């Protein structure tokens, strides 16, 4: 927007582009971003603001209490009931040109990935996508944005010379914060009163996404399949293990690329980031692209026939062997355990 924007803390605002979900509440990824942005705002001595667009959203303002929010930029209009990336980008750009935020953060969700690049172009600034780390540089006040680079083989720290500095962060990279227990402070609500932008698309039909099994993002136990599982038969075996443990089935990118599981199961740099209590990696070599998405699991079990597999370096328990022999043995022992635990005392 302007490479010479005033950097003084007194004029600095950090914006979080928030999303609401089908149930009418704020998306979990928005709270995760607000938690991180609150920390950045404290370091920068800046004001924290949220941006929310949609229809009948004014009641959601109460959900922001306790997260350190100073301002809420609200575009509440029936014409915004459906998400249109080009319309939303135009509205946010109009707001940004008027109020001149220093930093704009958004989720690397389906919506965020459609919206944020458009917004960056409209504001003539850069965008760092899929960040895994954000911090304020001491002295300069610039946003340091860390993300995997060169195919995930290293982590690059990037900063933008133009303003606003823009980043997207994948859901579950940052923890969802608990709201402050202190008495709520007033949030200044600024209603969007700018021009309307006609949508170029029309939503004809909505088809709800049908999930099977436990939600991968929220699962406490995850069984993950790699190429070492051997194919569809191995996938079925691991699916049975996940069901027996009350967990969810995940996959490496190689498994998804092979067509054995769909993208919704993919964990890693180009998939989802998970934080389960137990992560059982089966036939996964441990490429950094995959580790980025699961390395914060509380307890990691790795099963691989290669004693030099990189996954063993991050695992709490390592089992070197063929999963076609190990998994059936696990299943045969789980069945009597489940039966005994469900039997009356």
Assess whether 64 and 169 both reside in one domain.
yes
- Give me the torsion for CA of 139, 140, 146, 151, rounded to 10°: -120
CB 261 within 8 A of CB 249: yes
Would 280 be classed as within a structural domain?
yes
CB 257 within 8 A of CB 270: no
Q: For residues 125 and 138, what is the distance between their CA atoms, to the nearest angstrom? A: 22
CATH number at residue 117: 3.40.50.620
Q: How far is CA 223 from CA 200, 231, 235, 279, 303, in A?
A: 43, 15, 10, 6, 11
Determine the structural domain holding residue 36 and report its residue range. 9-191
CB 93 within 8 A of CB 58: no
What pTM was computed for the model?
A: 0.74
Would 2 be classed as within a structural domain?
no
Assess whether 58 and 110 both reside in one domain.
yes
Cα angle 108, 185, 37 (rounded to 5 degrees) comes to 25
Would 201 be classed as within a structural domain?
no
What's the domain count of the chain? 2
Assess whether 36 and 113 both reside in one domain.
yes
Would 202 be classed as within a structural domain?
no
Would 196 be classed as within a structural domain?
no
Assess whether 169 and 228 both reside in one domain.
no
Assess whether 265 and 172 both reside in one domain.
no
For the chain, 345 residues long, give each residue's pLDDT as a single digit of tens. Answer: 665 555 555 579 999 999 988 777 888 889 999 999 999 999 999 999 999 998 888 888 888 888 888 999 988 888 888 888 888 999 999 999 999 999 999 998 889 999 999 999 999 999 999 888 899 998 888 999 988 776 666 788 999 999 999 999 988 888 888 888 777 678 888 888 877 776 777 778 777 655 555 578 788 999 999 999 989 999 999 999 999 898 999 999 999 999 999 888 999 877 888 889 999 999 999 888 898 888 889 999 999 999 999 999 999 999 999 988 999 988 888 764 454 444 444
DSSP 194: S
For residue 259, is it left (φ>0), alpha (ψ between -120 and 50) or beta? left
Assess whether 250 and 176 both reside in one domain.
no
Nearby residues of 20 by Cβ (< 8 Å), 6 or more positions away: 26, 27, 52, 54, 57, 60
Q: For residues 126 and 339, what is the distance between their CA atoms, to the nearest angstrom? A: 57
């Amino acid at each position: 927007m302007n490479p010479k924007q005033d950097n003084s803390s007194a004029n600095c605002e950090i914006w979080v582009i928030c999303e609401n979900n089908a149930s009418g509440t704020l998306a979990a990824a928005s709270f995760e971003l607000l938690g991180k942005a609150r920390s950045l705002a404290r370091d920068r001595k800046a004001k924290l603001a949220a941006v929310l667009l949609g229809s009948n959203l004014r009641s959601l303002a109460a959900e922001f209490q306790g997260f350190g929010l100073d301002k809420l930029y609200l575009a509440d209009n029936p014409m915004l009931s459906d998400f249109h990336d080009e319309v939303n980008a135009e509205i946010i750009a109009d707001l940004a040109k008027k109020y001149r935020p220093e930093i704009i953060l958004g989720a690397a969700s389906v919506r965020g990935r459609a919206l944020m690049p458009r917004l960056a172009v409209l504001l003539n600034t850069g965008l760092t996508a899929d960040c895994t780390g954000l911090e304020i540089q001491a002295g300069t006040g610039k946003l340091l944005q860390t993300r995997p680079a060169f195919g995930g083989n290293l982590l690059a720290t990037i900063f933008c010379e133009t303003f606003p500095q823009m980043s997207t962060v994948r859901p579950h990279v940052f923890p969802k914060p608990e709201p402050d227990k202190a008495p709520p402070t007033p949030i200044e609500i600024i209603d969007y009163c700018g021009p309307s932008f006609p949508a170029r698309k029309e939503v004809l039909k909505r088809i709800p996404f049908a999930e099977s099994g436990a939600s991968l993002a929220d699962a406490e136990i995850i069984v993950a399949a790699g190429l070492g599982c051997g194919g569809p038969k191995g996938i079925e075996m691991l699916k049975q293990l996940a069901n027996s443990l009350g967990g969810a089935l995940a996959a490496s990118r190689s498994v998804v690329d092979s067509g054995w599981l769909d993208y919704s199961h993919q964990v890693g740099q180009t998939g989802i980031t998970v934080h389960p209590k137990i992560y059982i990696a089966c036939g996964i070599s441990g490429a950094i692209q995959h580790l980025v998405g699961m390395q914060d699991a509380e307890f990691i079990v790795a099963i691989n026939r290669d004693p030099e597999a990189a996954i063993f370096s991050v695992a709490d328990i390592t089992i070197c062997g063929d999963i076609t022999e190990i998994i059936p043995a696990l299943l045969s022992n789980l069945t009597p355990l489940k039966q005994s635990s469900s039997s009356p005392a």
